[in-house]
Amino acid sequence: MKVILQNLTMKFPSRDRKKHQDVVAVNDFSFEIPDGKLIGLLGPSGCGKSTTLNLISGLLKPTGGRIFFGEDDVTDLPPEYRGIGLVFQNYALYPHLTVRQNILFPLENLKGKDRLTKAQMQEKADAAARLVQIDALMDRRPGELSGGQQQRVAIARALVKMPRVLLLDEPLSNLDARLRLQTREEIRRIQRETGITTIFVTHDQEEAMSISDMIVVMKEGIVQQIGRPQEVYDNPRNLFVAKFLGTPPINVFEGQVREGKLYVGQEAVLDLALGKENLPKEVYVGVRPEGFLIREDGPFGCELSGVEVMGRDISVVSTHKASLNPAVRAIVSAESGPLAAGAAGGQVRFSLKPGKVFLFRKDTEERIL
């Protein structure tokens, strides 16, 4: 099911009595979600991603804009008539009911022509349980299940009616690191098997990038960038997106453009492409951690702080007076040779990969190169 958001806006009254302006939680959000895709809504706490999900579900009514499921305008429809499945952050399972009874609950509330026989309901519940691989747990209660198992029950309950759209609100935030990895892989598998259009809200960029077909990066209610995860990572539209995506985070420096060269501090660290000489003189320079190459004669010198062995890769930790980060982190291959070849007197020298270096305006923080 294709989902279309047209100029979606949500305002709330300010809690500050001295301020009479409304708080804009979602600001003029337009986006077409293709049928059968998994979309990640990504951003820091308070950016408007959960509000957007609640608008799509019908739990909130927008201040402005329209919502379409396919050709149907669902903006004014209550949640129960939209054909959605919704999984909450805290799972919202009924503790006194068994797994089977929790999954059956949405079916037991169907009325009119949608009403099913008991046999039909049991068949659908069993199918949903098999899909999420909890068919051996049907007689247990939520208190007897692990966090990951409870999450699967919540997903099965959301899927049992085969919704047109599946909505997941921070579904992995209550799980430990190992379970998060396993469960996000399960969500990807389930979405592919069912083909249901799925919208996944998270503040964890690694989660969003690992399983989403497309990601939507939000900040203060405004969409910053939409695209495939790798495309957004490789081509951030602004400094916020560049800083938000990536682990370790991008390294940001104060830089200058002079005579066709990029300077960080007093060193010319990169030759700029022809036609790029007319850039602003003062810029922010972003360098991805994998954008460094250790070179004894490299143009970019940093003060070496330490080396972290990560197995296949090495994290070289250093400092630089022009850095806006507490530490400069470079990820280099463990096979690239001993660090000593590029380090002398407490200093390590680098060359930079041009494709991993971005320039941003200082006033707007928009990307210019």
64-69 and 222-227 as β-strands: parallel, antiparallel, unpaired?
unpaired
**The domain 3-244: what is its CATH number?**
3.40.50.300
Identify the three-state secondary structure at position 369: coil
DSSP string, 91-129: ----TTS-HHHHHHHHHHT--GGG---HHHHHHHHHHHH
DSSP conformational letter for 133: T
pLDDT on residue 309: 84
Q: Is the pTM of this model over 0.85?
A: yes
* Domain extent listing, the chain: 3-244, 251-361
DSSP string, 331-349: EEETTS--GGGGEETTEEE
Residue 329: beta bridge partners?
A: 317
Q: Please report, as a single letter, which amino acid is at residue 201.
A: V
Instruction: Judge contact between 251 and 231, C-beta under 8 A.
Output: no
pLDDT on residue 278: 73
DSSP conformational letter for 47: S
Spatial CB neighbours of 112, under 8 Å, sequence gap ≥ 6: none
pLDDT on residue 34: 96
pLDDT on residue 15: 78
Cis previous bond, 248, omega within 30? yes
State the 10-residue block means of pLDDT for the chain, 369 residues long: 97 80 94 97 94 97 97 96 92 94 92 89 95 94 93 93 94 82 89 95 92 96 97 98 96 95 96 76 97 94 90 91 97 72 70 96 96
Spatial CB neighbours of 37, under 8 Å, sequence gap ≥ 6: 197, 198, 213, 214
Kindly report, residue by residue over 333-345, the tens digit of the pLDDT: 887 656 644 454 5
DSSP conformational letter for 206: H
pLDDT on residue 277: 61
Kindly report, residue by residue over 197-239, the tens digit of the pLDDT: 999 999 999 999 999 999 999 999 999 999 999 999 999 999 9
pLDDT on residue 297: 93
pLDDT on residue 40: 97
Euclidean distance between CA atoms 129 and 152, whole angstroms: 8
